[in-house]
Structure 1
Amino acid sequence: MTSTLNRVIVRPVAGHIGADISNVDISRPLDDEAVKSITEALHRYKVIFFRGQRLDHASQIAFGRQFGELTYAHPHDDTPPENFPEIYTVDPKRYEKKYGADFGVASRRRRYSYFTGWHTDVTAAVNPPAGSILRAEVVPEIGGDTQWTNLVAAYEGLSEPVRAFVDTLRAEHRYGGGYEISRSSSYAKVVEDNLLVAIHPVVRVHPVTGEKGLFVNPGFTSHIVDVSARESRAILDLLYAELTRPEYTVRLRWEAGTVAFWDNRATAHLAPADIEHLDLRRTLHRVTITGERPVGPDGRESELVSGQEFGANHKVVVDD
């Protein structure tokens, strides 16, 4: 995709996913043509990157609202920044301060098999966010990269008989679905008091592009429904191995002022795990765009098991 003067410039950065967006200041209101160009790039490349932007909480929220209604910060975050309930701050030091030093230790211990942090945002909700926008404020000079994978490419990489099979499946998603949360932790209590559980199609039809993509992830998918536990594990292992293939991914080296905007309907991403042993600060801020209930190839919508739809009016229950 090329551009002329004063038009958004889109430059693909990897074979299956990712593009750099330039010639645009997203801290200011965008005209209709810029919004259209960015939206088209998002749907085509699944994750897009803006460099050298100067955003604060207010301008990040304003940018996100040009692409849809924003959700509350996070289903389990009762302390978003004052006056900015849409902002979810990603900072391990913040989590450890809130939930105790063992929060980070527990997180590291639960990493096994394919779960090293790969997830799609808030798929425990019956209507996971349509998109996520993450802004870097403080990043380390080394490490801390994030990766994304293209779930449409992963689906298309399966053989035709396997695609036909997984088209028929549904899976449960819940917090702690792909790993074990310590029942004694204060975080576990917050999760339990604000339980979100949904049944989603294993293959999701994108509501805009019509593309089919895998819609399971190691972070939140607990099991395939209506099959045995052994069969579920085998199916998920097959799909996780496919969606984590390096050729479907792109990796971002963060700098302060970098913004990543991804299609949460068609991607999973990998949180960094290479700086936990170092005393380094990494602070990013995210907003998410309210999504709809996923629909499978058979036309069936996702089913709510526990909780409520996730949107702007979400309230976090805190029981001291």
Structure 2
Amino acid sequence: MTVIDTHSPVAADTDLEFRPVAGYIGAEVRNIDLSQPLPPEQVKAVTDALHRYKVLFFRDQHIGHAEHIAFSRQLGRVTSSHPYDDEAPTEFPEILTVDNRDYERKFGIKAASYTNEWHTDVTALINPPAITVLRAHIAPKRGGDTSWTNLAAAYANLPDSLKDLVNGLRAEHRFGGRRPVWHAGSTYARKTQDNPLVTEHPVVRVHPATGERVLFVNPGFTTRIVGLSARQSDALLDLLFDEVTNPAYTVRFRWFDGSIAVWDNRATAHLAPSDVNHLDITRVLYRTTLEGDVPVGIDGNPSTAISGDKFVGK
């Protein structure tokens, strides 16, 4: 099998092709059929490409829940749908349904996505997901794109003085972040009050597979820098959030029915759409996540759980 990493035409029908789509992040994968088990060499090629490009895009993969889960299992241990989800399909408890028609009931808001903040999936956990697999079932005819940013590039391009400042810091991550978007009294407000998820992570983590240093903060979950005053913490977080959401490190993806995105949740943050909130659209996607490791800082110290247990797969 030949793996092509170029913009040249496809060499053969049996070859995987990875086409980079932005300067720092993202590649489209061609000549692959996710409805069937992948041979080991393709699993390795996809995994290696994921570590390099951080997010991979697949088109025209019209698969169901069973195939979605089976593909995810080839990349790691699949978890249940979400720490707060109790509505996963009975026969497919690994599937999280992302359906904008449910958001008013769950979150008390009417929008294409319950959060329009950049976030890394569930970093309030002691072991946030390693990989996320998201499949579009019903995509809107216009708009509804998702964006991703490369957190390793964000760290690498910091000035040395700022790297020295953040290298040894730790930050609190809490479900809902500094300003939860859901309404008081909503289903999610009650769930997060009854079972809070709170963890202290290193501000800079070391990626367990690549060894890269990653700026591991995000607006959706990171609430404060440990050891700083509230004013100092907010000022530094705002600066870091500005860095991780720099458009230079991002890629944007247009969904169609059958589109799939797979991202390295240890080295990216992503942004759900807000451009269709005023439109009467239906947007339905299905998500799986793979069990993650406990982040470790450059000083070798792991994250610390304040509230909540590990989220493990099977």
Structure 1 length-normalised TM: 0.92
Q: Which whole-Å CA distance do the structure 1 matches of 2:267 and 2:44 have between them?
A: 19
What is the Cα deviation at residue 183 of structure 1?
A: 3.4
Is structure 2 residue 131 aligned with structure 1 residue 123?
Answer: no
Q: Aligned residue for 2:232?
A: 231
Structure 2, unaligned stretches of length 5 or more?
Answer: none
Q: Aligned residue for 2:252?
A: 251
Identity percentage over the alignment?
A: 55
Q: Which whole-Å CA distance do the structure 2 matches of 1:205 and 1:46 have between them?
A: 15
Question: Which amino acid is 1:49 matched to?
Answer: F
Q: Aligned residue for 1:22?
A: 30
| Alpha-carbon contact 1:17-1:149 (below 8 Å) kept | yes
SS in 1 for 2:110: helix
Aligned pairs for 1:117-196 within 5 A? 117-180=117-180, 181-196=182-197
| Alpha-carbon contact 2:109-2:183 (below 8 Å) kept | no
SS in 2 for 1:148: strand
Q: After superposition, what is the alpha-carbon deviation per residue over 1:200-219, rounded to whole angstroms, capped at 9, x for unaligned?
A: 00011000000001100000
What is the Cα deviation at residue 103 of structure 1?
A: 2.8
Q: Aligned residue for 1:99?
A: 106
What is the Cα deviation at residue 55 of structure 1?
A: 1.1
Q: After superposition, what is the alpha-carbon deviation per residue over 1:170-225, rounded to whole angstroms, capped at 9, x for unaligned?
A: 00001122313543333211112222110000011000000001100000011000
Q: Which whole-Å CA distance do the structure 1 matches of 2:102 and 2:183 have between them?
A: 19
Q: Aligned residue for 2:43?
A: 35
What is the Cα deviation at residue 104 of structure 1?
A: 3.0
Deviates more, 1:3-12 or 1:239-248: 3-12
SS in 1 for 2:109: helix
Q: Which whole-Å CA distance do the structure 2 matches of 1:269 and 1:76 have between them?
A: 20
SS in 2 for 1:104: coil
Q: Which whole-Å CA distance do the structure 1 matches of 2:161 and 2:63 have between them?
A: 47
Q: Aligned residue for 1:199?
A: 200
Structure 1, unaligned stretches of length 5 or more?
Answer: 314-320
| Alpha-carbon contact 1:51-1:257 (below 8 Å) kept | yes
Is structure 2 residue 300 aligned with structure 1 residue 292?
Answer: no
What is the Cα deviation at residue 95 of structure 1?
A: 2.5
Q: Which whole-Å CA distance do the structure 2 matches of 1:103 and 1:142 have between them?
A: 21
SS in 2 for 1:21: strand
Q: Aligned residue for 2:21?
A: 13
Question: Which amino acid is 1:151 matched to?
Answer: L
Q: Which whole-Å CA distance do the structure 1 matches of 2:260 and 2:177 have between them?
A: 29
Q: How many residues align?
A: 304
What is the Cα deviation at residue 4 of structure 1?
A: 4.7
Is structure 2 residue 246 aligned with structure 1 residue 240?
Answer: no
User: Which among 47, 53, 56 is matched to residue 61 of structure 2?
Assistant: 53
Is structure 2 residue 94 aligned with structure 1 residue 90?
Answer: no
Q: Which whole-Å CA distance do the structure 2 matches of 1:154 and 1:99 have between them?
A: 33
Superposition misfits of 4+ residues, deviation over 4 angstroms: none
Question: Which amino acid is 2:160 matched to?
Answer: E
SS in 2 for 1:99: helix
Q: Aligned residue for 1:318?
A: none
Q: Which whole-Å CA distance do the structure 1 matches of 2:88 and 2:25 have between them?
A: 31
Question: Which amino acid is 2:55 matched to?
Answer: V
Aligned pairs for 1:302-317 within 5 A? 302-312=303-313
Question: Which amino acid is 2:121 matched to?
Answer: D
SS in 1 for 2:176: coil
What is the Cα deviation at residue 165 of structure 1?
A: 1.1
